[in-house]
Amino acid sequence: MSEFKTYTLEQLCIVGSSKRVHLSDYVQQGVPFYRSKEVIEISSGKNISEQLFISSEKYFEIKSKFPVPQENDVLITAVGTIGEILVVKDPNFYFKDGNLIWLRNINFDIIDIDYLYYFFKSDLFQKTIKYNNIGAVQKALTIDFLKTVKITLPSLDNQRKLVSVLKSIDKKILLNNQINQELEAMAKTLYDYWFVQFDFPDQSGNPYKSSGGKMFYNQELKREIPEGWGVTTFSSWISDNKTGDWGKETSQGNYTLEVDCIRGADINGLSGNGKTDMPTRFILEKNKNKLLTDFDIVIEISGGSPTQSTGRIVGISEKVLNRFDLPLICSNFCKAVSLKEQETFYNFVYEWKNLYNNGVLFSWEGKTSGIKNLLFDSFVTNYHIAQPPIGLMEQFFDYASSVDRKIQLLLKQNQELTQLRDWLLPMLMNGQVKVE
């Protein structure tokens, strides 16, 4: 440990925030303006859902008097979801004071920027800021506290060696994610081709509609569909509903059955788009009938936002269940449905996602105490969709099931790689494991 030296963050950089920008300074176009929400989206590799701007004049007014973000500065979310990290690569933006803490003038003669990034992602740092916020009404990270956080550093050369190991793991995770995105895009393309454009293979193997297949106008759907297709509702495919359960945080009394609980915020992660941080809960043994099984479908029924409807969805195949050590259950803000025929599973999921992405579900929401609720029963009973022949759905089921299997295997591998990285990280940083 002789090569290690301990510093406070204040000794390594300037810890501060931005100058105040008022709501009245927002404009329709100009220099991007970030809050915690935007930093979280960018750091997660997502597109910004609601871009804010300040005028170029306002930005250059600030820049003429005060520092502005530079490449390899660091922003840390300080309110709400705290401790999310963004290393600045494109510095042409400004940000909200109070929401974000800004590390600048970092001494790169002492610390490698990637090493600093991994330190902030480590359990050590995340637990430090978590315990600092116990008892607070609203979680917040302060500049004064962050200045005092200690970080132990090996030599700069060894920092870079440690980073290379961690980056190799992250590179493999990224590659797996890219493969999964391509696989998912292929499945969606085929779904659109067959069930939206109606160019499924005809009896001769040619694309049905493009090859002159007969179409007829359906009054209920207000559009043409292929001859031999019908009209149905999601409810006709559903056999049963499973209500959610929240149970208890710890095992107590008769609450002894340990489960992972799916919230609306976990649905994208379960699909492979972001993190999955399902809380572990304990439910009554008698409620084990609520546990999710192969070919169940979980739908968010409460939540959303002004720009995001309720109704996010994820299919729970056996391959999904095998990714987790504990049984899965959905929370009270979600609903699980079981289907009459497993062959409708992927059609149900892709059709629902298509409607969700096109904003259809905004029209099927109610509001209670400020929370948006999906009018689930009304939607699945009254919204009409095209009914393909069962044989065609079976063909799509076989294809989508094969794609799903590949996706879930890679997601399982990513979970294992993430666990390995998170196990290695503190040991590399404290010298328990050395890189030659």
pLDDT, tens only, 321-338: 999 999 999 999 999 999
Statement to judge: residues 136 and 183 lie in one domain: no
> Within 13 Å, how many C-alpha atoms sit on residue 408's CB side?
18
Statement to judge: residues 124 and 186 lie in one domain: no
Cβ–Cβ < 8 Å for 231, 218: yes
Structure tokens at 121: 């992602």
Rounded to the nearest 5 percent, the helix, strand and coil shares of the chain are: 40, 25, 35
Is position 74 within any domain? Answer: yes
Residue for token pair 């302060």: 142
Residue 1 has pLDDT above 50, yes or no: no
Work out whether strand 296-300 and strand 223-226 pair parallel, antiparallel, or are unpaired: unpaired
3-class secondary structure per residue, 109-126: CCCCHHHHHHHHHCHHHH
Statement to judge: residues 186 and 328 lie in one domain: yes
Is position 420 within any domain? Answer: no
Work out whether strand 328-330 and strand 255-262 pair parallel, antiparallel, or are unpaired: parallel
Q: Report the percentage of the chain scoring pLDDT > 70.
A: 97
Is position 254 within any domain? Answer: no
Is position 169 within any domain? Answer: no
> How much is the average pLDDT of 91-99?
91
Instruction: Work out how many domains the chain is built from and give that number.
Output: 2
Residue 384 has pLDDT above 70, yes or no: yes
Query: Residue 3 contacts by C-beta under 8 Å, 6 or more apart in sequence?
Result: 154, 155, 158, 431
Statement to judge: residues 407 and 322 lie in one domain: yes
Is position 252 within any domain? Answer: no
Statement to judge: residues 209 and 63 lie in one domain: no
Please tell me the predicted confidence (pLDDT) of residue 382: 97
Is position 260 within any domain? Answer: no
CA distances from 180 to 47, 112, 173, 302, 345 (A): 18, 31, 11, 28, 20
Residue 436 has pLDDT above 80, yes or no: no
CA 391 from chain centre, in angstroms, equals 34
Statement to judge: residues 394 and 291 lie in one domain: yes
Statement to judge: residues 89 and 205 lie in one domain: no
Q: How many CB atoms lie within 10 A of CB 138?
A: 7
Statement to judge: residues 39 and 88 lie in one domain: yes
Is position 95 within any domain? Answer: yes
Structure tokens at 134: 């116990």
Structure tokens at 78: 């300080």
> How much is the average pLDDT of 199-223?
95
Q: What secondary structure letter does DSSP report for 97?
A: B
Statement to judge: residues 127 and 270 lie in one domain: no
Statement to judge: residues 144 and 199 lie in one domain: no
Statement to judge: residues 296 and 406 lie in one domain: yes
CA distances from 154 to 7, 286, 394, 424 (A): 11, 53, 58, 15
Range of the domain at 149: 5-153
Q: Report the percentage of the chain scoring pLDDT > 90.
A: 79
CATH number, domain at 36? Answer: 3.90.220.20
> How much is the average pLDDT of 55-64?
95
Q: What secondary structure letter does DSSP report for 1?
A: -
Instruction: Report which of 336, 177, 339 is spatially closest to residue 259, judged by C-alpha positions.
Output: 336
Statement to judge: residues 121 and 194 lie in one domain: no
List, for residues 168-200, the tens digit of each pLDDT value: 999 999 999 999 999 999 999 999 999 999 999
